[in-house]
Amino acid sequence: MRTILITACTMLSLSALAQNNQQMKPEETEVWEPVPKVITPGMATVTAPSDAVILFDGKNLDQWEGEKGGPAKWDVKNGAMTVVKNAGVIKTKQQFEDFQLHIEWRTPAEVKGESQGRGNSGVFLQEYYELQVLDNYNNRTYSNGQAGSFYKQKIPLVNACKKPGEWQSYDVIWTAPRFNDDGSLKTPARATVLQNGVLVQNNVELTGQTQYIGKPFYEKHGAKSIVLQDHGNPVSFKNIWIRPLNQD
- Catalog residues that contact Mg ion under the rule CB under 5 A: 120, 122, 229
Q: How far is the CB of 164 from Mg ion (least distance, A)?
A: 16
- Is 52 or 103 the residue whose CB approaches Mg ion more closely? 103
Shortest Å, Cβ 134 to Mg ion? 6
d(CA 194, CA 51): 20
Q: Considering the complex, what minimum distance in angstroms separates the CB of residue 231 from Mg ion?
A: 5
Residue number with CB closer to Mg ion (120 or 201): 120
Q: How are beta strands 236-244 and 80-82 bridged, if at all?
A: antiparallel
Can you say how many angstroms the Cα of residue 64 is from the centroid of all Cα atoms in its chain?
A: 16
CB of 88 vs Mg ion, minimal distance in Å: 14
Q: Using CA atoms, how far apart are residues 248 and 246, in angstroms rounded to an integer?
A: 7
Nearest distance, CB of residue 130 and Mg ion, angstroms: 6
- Compare residues 122 and 214 and give the one whose CB is closer to Mg ion: 122
CA atoms of 60 and 75, how far apart (whole Å) = 9
Tell which residue, 63, 83, 228, has the closest CA to residue 73.
Answer: 83
* Beta carbon nearer to Mg ion, 122 or 148: 122
Q: How far is CA 70 from its chain centroid?
A: 22
Least spacing, CB of residue 92 vs Mg ion, in Å? 18
C-alpha distances in angstroms, 3 versus 18, 21, 147, 177? 12, 12, 20, 20
Nearer to Mg ion, 225 or 229 (CB): 229
Q: Which amino acid is at 62?
A: D
Instruction: Output 29 or 229, the one with its CB closest to Mg ion.
Output: 229
Contact 61, 209 (CB under 8 A): no
- The answer to whether 172 touches 92, Cβ cutoff 8 Å, is no
Residue nearest to Mg ion (CB): 122
